[in-house]
Each structure stands twice: as structure tokens, then as C-alpha cells.
Chains A and B, each alone.
Chain A
């Protein structure tokens, strides 16, 4: 995973690996599962990105490899990179 600077206070690094259990080959992990695993390793980080209704917060962008998604049910292919971008303009 690639972590943006606003969230590196949790991870201490920009690039991290997250292990996500795969229950069955036909059931790939989802973005939500990856974020849950991330939160397990770095408690509190998920809520800064995902609100209590499961929606990606307005100024957070999530990419699975090159594809932008706002759906935390999106499947994650084996070996994929999840990139988190904190996008905000203004003073």
C-alpha cells in the first residue's frame, strides 16, 4: 500500500505491506478488507479515511493499481497495490 503523508503518523512509512486472509480463491479480498487489516495494524487509521457509514471521505482518493474507486466492496487482485491519496486544495 502507498500511504500519503497525512496518514504516515500512523504507519511511519510511505510504502507498507498488508496481509489479508483469502478465504477462497473465488472470494478475493475487498478494499474494505484491506482497510480493515490496515486498521488492525495501525488502529484508528481507517476512520480518518472512511466515515461511520462506510463512505470514503470527500478528500480521500483510493486507487487499486491504476483504477480510482470509491467503493470499499471493490475486489483486490492478488499482489495489487492500493494507493491512498489525500487531495485537498486551499489555504
Chain B
């Protein structure tokens, strides 16, 4: 397939650090050069609900963490020295005073375009989009989204949506154009802006919304995780509540690719990971979406499913993972890959374990256990 943007080069042999955001704080897990021995460190922010922590690839030293506690309101912590010290944002994401809306938590953080050092995006629950141009110190709402006249129609009410609150997630910046953005919303669907967030339009054709009176509605969908294909930013993949989909722009219509998953496993899941160099390779982690939606590994037998042909076919990868009675799942931000060759693949589970593969999912082993429920894992 054509590639319009050079994919990430394989990282030279170097240590990998996983940033592990949990319901009770932040931990890090750092490898040796062979990715064989791993050392757990932490906690930072013990007792905070940490929804996401991610590093800035543009400077290699800034980390942002989205956190709150049960008592206290949401905030963002910043580190300018790779996590040695942290300082709270002077102005965390918050909706406009007088507008009636309240940020419950910041859910998703995305570094901005490579040409815009210091720019970051944040997605919140309920659905809001925020931008910082000073490295995460102060945040302003993206008015073109938060005050869009159709926002409420797109998203529903702030009390609607997923059990942990409706979320804006999967903020994607086109590596060719800093003004070209995508976001995913649960609920709401996928939306696109070509003017740096000034205006937005739904991008949900071809995606089913089986839970709506009109399953082919223009918006109101439930994408769980949306990713840009590495090296080919005209391709996006999405793990949705109702299937797995791919789109190749400039087409406006998603193509279902989850219908080739084994029927006994199904196409429901939260996370999705794309290969760091091959736009045809991706992984999903299925969960049980039958009957009352247990949201566990199907049958208590966790597995990753990998496609190497853009979703036309899937291969089960479970070597090393528990064979039975493992009822955890992996949340939408808790599966990630590193950029080594072969790529490492990492899962953070709802039962507080980190599982890792250093051979692109062929074999897994447990790297850490006994952590709190894991919300997000990022590799750097």
C-alpha cells in the first residue's frame, strides 16, 4: 500500500520505560537493553486516580499526568525532567465559568504536532477538548469544539454515556498538518477538524451504532479507541463498541474489519495498537460483549489478536498468557507498543498486571503484578 509519511525508524537497542497509570497512582517499569529484565519503580501520586501519563517525543524530557482523587478535582501534573520532579499545572483543563459544565477528569493527553513544540491536547470527561501552548502549564478550551452549536447533539448530556462518564479520547494529530485533527468520543463518534479545531464534522459513515434507534446515524457512535496507521496517516483504525473498522482517506466511509474475527471471540474490545512501522499490522484485545457485557477476557482466556493485512484476517496470540480462569481485560489506553525491532507489545490489565512481548506478540510473559487497576500504559 502507498505510504505517504515515513514510518518511525526502529529504535536502536535501548531501555524501554513503561508509564503505568492506575486507579491508585503512577508506576514506571524500565527494561534492560534486551528487554529481558524489568525494574518497577513508584508509586508517584499514591492514592490519585491517574488516567493517563505520556511523554513528549519532541523534547524527550517532558511528561504530563492527568490525575484526580476521589475527593479532589481534576488536575494535570507536569515533569520537565523525565519524572524526577513534578509540578501541578497552573491552570488545568476546566470549562468556561458560567457555562454550567464541569470537568470530572482529564482522560486523554496527546502531544501536539512536531512543529508546535509546547502544544498539547487534552480530552476530558464529560467530552471536552483543551489545548495548551506552554507545555501543559495552562490550558484553554478549544472553543470550536466545546462551544460548537451541535456539540450537545453529538455527545448527549454530560450524565449520559459510559459507566465512568462520557469521554473525549483518541486525539490524533496528522503528522503532515498540525491543523488536521481527529477525536473519538464515547459517546459521540469520530470527528474531524481541518482548521486546528475551529470547526468539526462527524466521520462515522459505515460504522454501526447498534444501540441507537438508527444504527446508521451520522453521530452518537461509541468508538473505544482510534489510531492513525504508522507512516500512513490517511489510514485510521478504530475499535468500536460495535465492531472493528478501518478507513482510508480521503474516503469518508469506514470499512468493517472485525467481521473476520472468530465468532466465538467476537469483535468487542477497548484498546487497539498499530505497529510502529507497518500500517497493515495492528493488534486488538477482545473482551466479552455478550449478554450483559461482562467485559472480561472471553471465556477467561485472554488473547491478543493481530492482523498483518489491514484487518482482512486475524491471528490469535496467547502464548505465555494464562490459559484459563483469567477474567481481566485491558482498557482502551492500556495496550501499547514500543518502537524497537521487533516491536514490543505491552498490556496493562484491570487486575493490575503488566504483560509484555518483545517479539510482536508471539510470546508474552508477566512483567509486574499486584498493581492497582491499570488505566493506561505508554512506552517510551
Q: Among A22-30, A44-52, A63-71, A73-81, which stretch is in contact with chain B? A: A44-52
One of B75, B90, B96, B101 near A48 (C-beta < 8 A):
B75
As a 0/1 sequence over residues 63 to 90 of chain B, the CB contacts with chain A under 8 angstroms (1 = contact) are 0000001111101000000000000111
User: Given the complex of chains A and B, what is the CA–CA distance between A90 and B70 in angstroms?
Assistant: 9
Task: Answer whether residue B95 sits at the interface, using C-beta atoms and an 8 A cutoff.
Answer: yes
Q: How far is the CB of B23 from chain A (nearest CB, A)?
A: 10
One of A6, A43, A53, A55 near B72 (C-beta < 8 A):
A6
Size category of the B interface is: 20 to 34
User: Which residues from A are CB-within-8-Å of B19?
Assistant: none
Which of A13-64 touch B at CB < 8 Å?
Answer: 43-44, 47-55, 57, 59-60
Q: Contact at B102–A51, with CB atoms within 8 Å?
A: yes
User: Which residues from A are CB-within-8-Å of B96?
Assistant: 52
Q: Contact at B102–A48, with CB atoms within 8 Å?
A: no
Q: How far is the CB of B136 from chain A (nearest CB, A)?
A: 14
User: Given the complex of chains A and B, what is the CA–CA distance between A53 and B94 in angstroms?
Assistant: 9
User: Which residues from B are CB-within-8-Å of A48?
Assistant: 72-73, 75
Q: How far is the CB of A5 from chain B (nearest CB, A)?
A: 10
One of A52, A55, A59 near B94 (C-beta < 8 A):
A52
User: Given the complex of chains A and B, what is the CA–CA distance between A85 and B137 in angstroms?
Assistant: 28
Q: With contacts A52-B96, A53-B98 known, is A44 near B88, CB below 8 A?
A: yes
Q: How far is the CB of B158 from chain A (nearest CB, A)?
A: 12
Q: Contact at B95–A52, with CB atoms within 8 Å?
A: yes
Task: Answer whether residue B100 sits at the interface, using C-beta atoms and an 8 A cutoff.
Answer: yes
Q: How far is the CB of A53 from chain B (nearest CB, A)?
A: 6
Q: Which 3 pairs show the lowest CB-CB distances between chains A and B?
A: A86-B71, A48-B72, A52-B94
Give the interface of A toward B (CB within 8 A).
Answer: 4, 6-7, 43-44, 47-55, 57, 59-60, 86-88, 90
Given contacts A6-B47, A53-B97, A59-B70, 15 further A-B contacts (CB under 8 A): A6-B69, A44-B88, A44-B90, A47-B73, A47-B75, A47-B92, A49-B73, A50-B73, A51-B94, A52-B94, A53-B95, A53-B99, A57-B72, A59-B71, A86-B71
